[in-house]
Structure 1
Amino acid sequence: MSTFGEINEPSSRTAWEDWDDIFVTDDFLNLRLEKDVDIPKEIDTFIILEGRYLYDCVRAHHNLELVNSNAEVNLCLFKTKELNNYVCMIRDYNLILSSEIVELLKKYITISKDVIAIVTKPIVEYQVSELVSKDYVIRSISSSKQSTSNLDIHFPNLEQPNIISGVSAGVLCWREIIDKPAVAIICYMEHPEEQQIQELYELLERFKIIPDIAKFHRDNLFNSNLYI
């Protein structure tokens, strides 16, 4: 009998290998959008907003029309009422499901002229040699293909060894593969529950996700009339 390619484990093996922790289960999650709606032939800009901070910034406003959703990963897909842009908001999700979420959005991501992902992270995750004097830092990372649209997005490049992961990273990789423009904007912040970051608000306003900044008031405890 041929034993080519066979892995023989000694009975006295003490080392623990990666595959020892893999358990085969039937709990495969097949993500689907709630509604069976037609995908548009053209999308100018597809915008991904990751995290509770961005969700809280947008949820109270009415510039968006709900198109579809998936409750399993807290995903909502909107169309802006004024522009031919789509907005995907993901509040909380299991990082392991990132590739499935990207696959769920793949058709929208592929046909879009431009893709922008905005992610918020704790500032303690930002790794840099010099001292950070501000309570927030904004960086960006882009695909090789440059956008022909005037998106007017100019943030310093994300420095090594900082990385991004999750849905935004997967979307950026897919756009790189199909040779289309995409940019991920990463905002490292110290106090997300009480910060109002002008640069992010300006982006959300420019793409008609929220109304005019002068009229904008974030719906949270710190800006309410509730006193404890």
Structure 2
Amino acid sequence: MTTFGEINEPSSRTAWEDWDEVLYTENCTDLRLEKEVEVPKQIDTFIILEGKYLYDCVRAHHELDLVNASPEVGLRIFKTKKLNNYVCMIRDYNLIQSSEIVELLKKYINMSIDVIGILTKPLVDYQVSERITNDYVIRCLSASKPTRDLDKTFPHLEQPNIISGICAGVLCWREVTDKPAVVIVCYMEHPEEQIILELNNLLEKFKVISQVEKAHRDNLLNSNLYI
């Protein structure tokens, strides 16, 4: 039993769980970007693509120029060829390192007029009272200041749903610094075989991919590996 402002330690060793002594920093390394690259004094939109689904959506296109990377966490930063937008792609990472990764990106975050985060989560994680009949659900969280020109607005993410990780950290930082930001969350049922047009249209708008009509996903379910 604890009260606000008070910490009560267990009186017996048996009250500790097995994982209480695990040092989570054992497998973590000091993160840094590969190159010392000057960050532009102004970026129109900084886009964060978090997750394997988004990584696979973008990798087949050639609209991005690699600027920097952090191989320890599989993070890469690109500039779009046609607009003054920057894109951060990260496929998988240790959630405990979220704060460190946000620190790596802070210069880009601070120099951007707008920040848009996009992440995907399993549909089973979406908590809602009514029955879900679609294969995916798209929701958003935004800072107090709205972003400029999103063509499509998505419903606000309902409680008790929450987000964590890099996008959540970036959104919090933009809110603290009184700057616009939005995070778009896509809950999906079959990420290995789905093409979400709303997300692809958004990526095309900011010139992350070329044309939605050419979107193609290489996946195991569509292959003849087991035939």
TM over 0.5: yes
TM-score by length of 1: 0.88
CA change 1:160–1:95 in 2 (3 A) is same
In structure 2, list runs of 5 or more residues that go unmatched: 1-6
Aligned-residue Cα RMSD (Å) equals 2.6
* Aligned match of 1:133: 133
* Aligned match of 1:93: 93
Q: Does residue 64 in structure 1 map to residue 64 in structure 2? A: yes
* Aligned match of 2:42: 42
Letter in 2 for 1:204: L
* Aligned match of 1:3: none
SS of match in other structure, 1:116: strand
Q: Please state how far the C-alpha of 1:220 moved relative to its aligned partner.
A: 3.1
Q: Deviations over 1:132-159 (max 9, x none)?
A: 0101000000001123x22224000000
Distance 1:137 1:120 in 2: 10
Letter in 2 for 1:209: V
Q: Deviations over 1:175-196 (max 9, x none)?
A: 0000000000000000000011
Q: Please state how far the C-alpha of 1:50 moved relative to its aligned partner.
A: 0.5
SS of match in other structure, 2:46: strand
SS of match in other structure, 2:15: coil
SS of match in other structure, 2:163: coil
Q: Does residue 216 in structure 1 map to residue 193 in structure 2? A: no
Distance 1:120 1:152 in 2: 20
TM-score by length of 2: 0.89
Distance 1:10 1:133 in 2: 46
* Aligned match of 1:4: none
* Aligned match of 1:171: 170
SS of match in other structure, 1:44: strand
Letter in 2 for 1:110: N
Letter in 2 for 1:96: I
What does 1:22-37 correspond to in 2, within 5 Å? 23=23, 29-37=29-37
The structure that has the greater radius of gyration is: 1
Distance 1:118 1:64 in 2: 17
CA change 1:28–1:130 in 2 (3 A) is closer
Q: Please state how far the C-alpha of 1:40 moved relative to its aligned partner.
A: 0.6
Q: Please state how far the C-alpha of 1:10 moved relative to its aligned partner.
A: 9.5
Distance 2:111 2:188 in 1: 32
CA contact (8 A) 1:61 1:210 kept: yes
CA change 1:152–1:13 in 2 (3 A) is same
* Aligned match of 1:78: 78
* Aligned match of 1:150: 149
CA change 1:78–1:24 in 2 (3 A) is closer
Letter in 2 for 1:150: D
CA contact (8 A) 1:57 1:219 kept: no
Distance 2:40 2:158 in 1: 36
